[in-house]
Structure 1
Amino acid sequence: MPFYVYAQDQPGVADQLMELCEEHWSYMDRFDDRLILRGPTVSDDGEEHTGSVHVVNLADRAEAERFARDEPFWKAGLYRDLLVVAAEVLLSRAPAADVPYTLVTARWPLPADAEGDTAHDAGERRDLLGAEPDGRLVFVAALADDEGAGTTGAVAAVRALPDEARELVRPFAERLAGGRPATLTAQRWERGGRN
């Protein structure tokens, strides 16, 4: 089962991140065959590391929490916030190196009377991207409530700068939200890993 794991950096930890970089990569190498997407979020100018994104296929939430909390940057206290959410991958293409990407996250509340997400099944959710999804989309996943109560958001990696990326994601995020108000955030993202 895929999980979206996002960790936001503490302020002023750039030197410590660099010191632990090899330890972080070695840890991630253990999950290489299960990593669907990985890489850091960065400042608008691309110069400063601001967080880490991993979409990883694991057995269950407990294993996903272990994956996140055993990560060297987290154990060293370099992250201030950690999010672990079940994900349904709708689109996954290999991102190119040295190309500007943006990570767009859309979140919306579950309805008060959520009995399961019957508005869209998996195939219908993929159709929300369009028959031929825009080539600038390299990754899209629906974020789900662990209790099966429904979709609570989406995350997309887009080959575009933040403003353009947000507008590209907005139409299908609004359809996926089923009329619920969606909040979209966009931040620069880079493909991660050793290669």
Structure 2
Amino acid sequence: MKTPLATLLALSLSLYTPHSAGEPNSAGDYLVLAEDAEGVDTQLMTLAQVHWDYMDRFADRLLFRGPLLSADGRRHAGSLHLIRAPSAAFAQRFALDEPYHRAGLFARVQVLRFHSHMAPLADVARAADARSPSAFVQAHWPARDCPTPPPSSLASPWWLLGFVLAADGRCEGMAGVLPLPPEAARATAAEWLLAQGLSTHTLRASRWRPGGRR
């Protein structure tokens, strides 16, 4: 059963807090993660051009993006956008005004302050064969001081890798993208987290593919 639009908006707005998005005027990078509601495939296709037109307005701010996919890779399951924003409010408004969100097609939206440990390899990702598997990995934990990963741990195969930050700048999670199937990506991410002394308890991986106009 489809969740009413008012409920979806209330759920999304509840996530736009200083804890998840940083201080109101903090400039920086923000990870916008959306999870599709059930049974919205047709509506997503109908609004696809409107969605692209909206994203074109932020092309100079989007550092990395692409859809999350179902386990078999056949269905759209959500999206990932890394945006460089002048404030948390700007990033929140970007998420709120996105056409899919306004149409009630998302079950959940998160806006997370993000500190990247490497320049996102967006060009490499876009040039990749869309048929080759790649995955988004994410983990979270209670806020703690962020470790400093050694440069040797930031090499290939990562396309995107960084920490999710709490309002006080401490580390409360990680997120990344690798050109690997989900299980292999999860194993690689787990090894990286353990090397930094971080928990893998909540680590999960989902299929992803490069986005943006081609």
Q: Normalising by the residue count of structure 2, what TM-score does the alignment of the two structures yield? A: 0.79
8 Å contact kept, 1:108–1:181:
no
- Alignment partner, residue 188 of structure 1: 207
8 Å contact kept, 2:190–2:200:
no
1:145 is the counterpart of 2:172:
no
1:168 is the counterpart of 2:188:
yes
8 Å contact kept, 2:165–2:173:
yes
8 Å contact kept, 1:109–1:180:
no
- Alignment partner, residue 134 of structure 2: 101
1:61 is the counterpart of 2:82:
no
Task: Indicate how the Cα distance of structure 1 residues 109 and 174 shifts in structure 2: closer, same or farther if over 3 A, else same.
Answer: farther
Aligned-pair identity in percent equals 34
Judging by fraction of residues, say which structure has more helix: 2
How far apart are the structure 2 equivalents of 1:60 and 1:152? 20
How far apart are the structure 1 equivalents of 2:41 and 2:184? 28
Could you tell me which amino acid in structure 2 is paired with residue 190 of structure 1? Answer: R
Secondary structure of residue in 2 paired with 1:33: coil
8 Å contact kept, 2:186–2:204:
yes
Which runs of no fewer than 5 residues in structure 2 stay unpaired?
A: 1-27
Provide the alpha-carbon RMSD of the alignment: 1.6
Secondary structure of residue in 2 paired with 1:68: helix
Q: Aligned residue pairs: how many?
A: 181
How far apart are the structure 1 equivalents of 2:49 and 2:76? 15
Secondary structure of residue in 2 paired with 1:166: helix
> What are the within-5 Å matches in structure 2 for residues 1-195 of structure 1?
1-91=28-118, 92-93=120-121, 94-95=124-125, 96-98=128-130, 99-110=132-143, 117=145, 119-120=146-147, 124-125=148-149, 127=150, 130-131=151-152, 133-148=154-169, 150-176=170-196, 178-180=197-199, 182-195=201-214
How far apart are the structure 2 equivalents of 1:140 and 1:180? 16
How far apart are 1:174 and its partner, in Å?
3.3
Q: Normalising by the residue count of structure 1, what TM-score does the alignment of the two structures yield? A: 0.87
8 Å contact kept, 2:137–2:205:
yes
8 Å contact kept, 2:117–2:154:
no
8 Å contact kept, 1:85–1:146:
no
How far apart are the structure 2 equivalents of 1:104 and 1:179? 14
Could you tell me which amino acid in structure 2 is paired with residue 60 of structure 1? Answer: S
Task: Indicate how the Cα distance of structure 1 residues 143 and 62 shifts in structure 2: closer, same or farther if over 3 A, else same.
Answer: same
